[in-house]
Amino acid sequence: MSKIVMTSDNHFDINRIDIDEMMKLQAQYLVEMHADYYLIAGDLFNDFQKSMKYVHDLQDTLGMTTKVLFIAGNHDMLHGVSFDELETLQDDVYVHNKKIEVAGTNWVIIGNNGWYDYSYRDDGVSIDEVELWKRAYWVDRAIEQPMNDMERMQIVLLQTKEQLELARSNNQQVIYMTHFSPKQEYLIQRPDIRMWQMANAMMGSYRLGDLLEQYEANTVLFGHMHIHPSPIKYQKTTYYNQSVGYKNKHINEWITDSFFDQWVARLQVIEKN
């Protein structure tokens, strides 16, 4: 039996968290839980190097007790990393386009940073309108990439299919972790607010959810949307969004008063054997 603990969207810098203190608290809690794996579905910092340092330091603190696995969210991609580095980095804690076997089980963890293809855009909103709005307003405008968003999402789908095919050929059950939403049902529907008309296009792609369900992936962890839904099952696939979210002078998405309590409240624990 392996205990797997899942989180996303901690946003340490935006939330102005004392990193050293929070690392000690998180590590202690994971040890007390006897967590075998700790999955982080992106958005630790607005800088990939800071995110990787945190994950490495946390892994060093935990030692052999818990394996930490991380994929990058759009905020992690804003600084400190290129597209090529995101695709090719070989590091034990970074699991983009990798398949990790869960020790002592028939389960594998497949990681992919993910992306979006504007397939969630509102009716009547064109691709050209979304691209123009993104370049003007959306945080991802700082992320450089050698292709358009639809082409980048196609790479995600091809990588995911290859990993799912390999898991199927080995008769392995799948836990899939990504950052962006694979299901349109999670979107915030506010057709009266233009920001949401445009922002939803950058939330993910229904094509990923369709692919995961086609291959009967059992468990899917994602983030990006700072919402607090209960797990939802579609066919044989259960989706988990475990975002911690923001709390600052402009916005409060937490359901508790402190970051640590919010992190604990938003953790999801699953056990596989």
- Domains of the chain by start residue, with CATH: 2-272 (3.60.21.10)
Q: Regarding beta strands 237-241 and 219-222, do their DSSP bridges make them parallel or antiparallel, or are they unpaired?
A: parallel
Per residue in 136-169, pLDDT tens?
999 999 999 999 999 999 999 999 999 999 999 9
Distance CA 108, CA 100 (A): 5
Asked if pLDDT for residue 191 goes beyond 80, the answer is: no
Which pair of structure tokens corresponds to residue 15?
Answer: 């939330």
- Sorting pLDDT into bands at 50, 70 and 90, what band is 118? very high
Rg (CA), the chain: 18
Q: What 3-state DSSP class applies to 220?
A: strand
Pinpoint the alpha helices (H) of 96-250: 127-137, 149-169, 194-199, 206-214
pLDDT at residue 273, rounded to an integer? 86
Asked if pLDDT for residue 201 goes beyond 90, the answer is: yes
Asked if pLDDT for residue 196 goes beyond 90, the answer is: no
pTM of the model: 0.97
Q: Are 209 and 116 in contact (CB under 8 A)?
A: no
Distance CA 30, CA 22 (A): 12
Q: What 3-state DSSP class applies to 232?
A: strand
Query: Average pLDDT, whole number, for the chain?
Result: 96
